Each structure stands twice: as structure tokens, then as C-alpha cells.
Homo-oligomer: A and B are copies of this chain.
């Protein structure tokens, strides 16, 4: 890894057959500091590891000889039909991982009919992405210290035709990502969050100012959510909820959906795995409120498990960035196809012809 990163592959070799293969190969295609930024999590990375490990706590319960001819993974969210219950999660600064950055991701998303949630911290302009994209685009919003700044960003997303606003609520501060700190990661020159252009900069607090007088004074509150809800007609999702009471508050404050997530274990360590939080959140919300799961998805069987435990759809983050680094848009599209086919096989062998047939009865008793 002391040699220069390899360029992206132009074709998929026969030994790239699963998300884990992209994860194993990504280090050869990335600068070690970028890799530490991408793969690292908060503190000891226990939550990062737990996110994936949690899926092994559940087992599928196959049914044989079921008639599933003509089955499908199709679904819909907020009125938009989706080919499968899989979205590309917001990941910042994708120019770090491929020269085309978010443009390559959007290209793959379009080819595979997969919604792409574009980060506030994208290295490509929202409108440029929208003008080229064939897939639904959603906008992920990081609160920028004021309602005015938030509104400016939302208006830009609306203007560019984005289909939903996903407000991240679990990261009012950056989290202490020790792996990234030890690697000495810094944003390289020439890469920037171009969509923040024209917004007043949030001043970084001096290094010795405590958390409570620093970052937490720039953070949004529930009243800001209610205000934001009143400002746009787009579906509004809150991303980063683990506590069932927060999910209820989200619904009561007017959110249209919730994303159960711990920010990929990047903000606070030693919190519940997303999957473990999911059933409690679904139980409190009841059956019909849109609920997504983010964190730890590496297999089609993980998607199946999340749906069986109450998710309507899932997001993947690091896995598609690994694919982006390894093989660009081609890699991302291939990864999505692999996951979709794995999901189809799980459904077929568990006797489910549609997503609606997936439920807790599809998991083996513990």
C-alpha cells in the first residue's frame, strides 16, 4: 500500500462477485488516508463492526416447492416506483474516490434504477448531477448553523428536481474518528463541498472550546424540524434515529419517513447496531410509516432480513464507494445487480413472491 493507488478497473474480473470482494480490493485503488477516512468509524469502531455483525443474529427460514413464478422486488416510496428496495446513501466528497465522483455514482444509479441520496458535501453541483441523472435523486441536508442556510440549500435541491429531503440528525458534531486522525487525513486541495458556495461559513470553534459551547450551539432542534417541514412540499426524512421515542417525535413533527441509522458508526461509538434498533422503532411507529434502514448491509440476505424486521427499504454507503473506487460506475452498477440478485434468491427460496410477503415469519426462531 505504499505504492501509488491503482486506477479503476475497466471490466469486472471473475473474482469480484460480492460486496466483500470490493471491500477487499478497494485498498489497492485508494490513497491510505482516503481509505482511513472512508472505512474508519468513531473511537474503537465497535458500532461500525456491530452494524454488519448484527445481521448474523437472524437466520432465514426457507420454504420449499413454493410457486414464486413472476415474482418481483418492485416497491414504491413516497409515490415513486422503485425496482428494488435499495438506495445509495449519502456519502460526502465522492471526488476523493473517483475522478468523476458523484457523476459516476449517478450514472450507475440511473442504469440500475436506484435512487441516489446526494450529500450536502458532494463535490459535484446538485444541478449538474440532476441534469444528467436517469435515477431519482434525493438531497441529504446537513444543517448549516441557521434556518436561512438550510432554506437556501433546500431551494436549490427543489429547483434541480430532487425528490426528497433527507435531513441528517445524528451528527451535530463530527465525531472522533480516531482511525482518520491517526492517518492524518485532510481534504486534498481542489476538492470542495461546492454546494455550500455562497453560504456563510460556520466558524470552527477554537480547539479548546468544549462541545457544549461549540458545535452544539450550531445544531438544529425539534422546532427547526417543524419549521423546515413548513417550508417545502417535498417528502422530508430524518436520518440517524435509533431511539423509538425520537421516531415518534419525528412523525409528530411532520416528517414523512425515518432512516434508522447510526451514521455508519462514524459519529458515536458503542451505540446499538442499526438492525438491532430497527424492530423497536417499527413497533412504536406501527406498520405504515415509511422506515428505512442504513448500516451494515453487505448481502441480499441482509436486505431481506431488514425487510423482515420492518424496514421498507435499505441504504448502502461504504460498499458502493468501494465499488466506485475499484471500477467506477461499472463497479457500482455491478454491485447493485449482485445485491438485487442475492435478494431475489432469498425471496425465491423463502417462498416470497413480493416484498409484501417478507415478514418476521421468514426468519427462523432463535
Contact = CB atoms under 8 A, between A and B. Distances in A.
A358 B325 CA distance: 42
Interface in A48-101: 55-56, 58-72
Interface string A336-354: 0000111011111100010
A164 to B, nearest CB: 19
A178 B21 CA distance: 10
Tell me the number of copies of this protein. Answer: 4
Interface stretch (A127-135, A209-217, A281-289, A311-319): A209-217
Contacts of A271: 59-62, 364
Interface stretch (A1-9, A114-122, A192-200, A240-248): A240-248
A222 B65 contact: yes
A241 to B, nearest CB: 6
Scoring A18, A268, A280 by chain B CB atoms within 10 A of each residue's CB, the highest score goes to A268
A270 interface: yes
Contacts of A216: 68-69, 71, 348
Contacts of A243: 61-64
Interface stretch (A102-110, A145-153, A167-175, A229-237): A167-175
B364 A211 contact: no
Nearest to A17: B181
B14 A182 contact: yes
A218 to B, nearest CB: 10
A137 interface: no
B67 A210 contact: no
A18 B43 contact: yes
Given A212-B69, A272-B364, A345-B176, A64 B240 contact: yes
Interface string A124-166: 0000000000000000000000000000000000000000000
A39 interface: no
B64 A211 contact: no
A331 B155 CA distance: 48
B65 A56 contact: no
Contacts of A348: 172-173, 211-212, 215-216
A344 B268 CA distance: 11
Given A17-B176, A173-B345, A344-B212, A269 B64 contact: no
30 contacts: A18-B176, A20-B44, A21-B182, A58-B270, A61-B242, A61-B271, A62-B271, A63-B243, A63-B246, A64-B243, A64-B246, A65-B169, A65-B246, A67-B221, A70-B213, A72-B210, A170-B349, A172-B349, A173-B345, A173-B348, A176-B342, A176-B345, A211-B344, A211-B345, A211-B347, A212-B344, A212-B353, A268-B349, A271-B364, A276-B364
Given A65-B220, A175-B345, 17 more contacts: A14-B184, A15-B184, A17-B176, A17-B178, A17-B182, A20-B44, A55-B270, A56-B270, A58-B270, A64-B241, A65-B222, A69-B213, A71-B212, A172-B348, A176-B345, A210-B344, A277-B364
Per CB-CB distance, the 10 closest pairs between chain A and chain B, nearest first, are: A71-B212, A211-B344, A15-B182, A64-B169, A17-B181, A272-B364, A268-B349, A270-B301, A60-B271, A65-B222
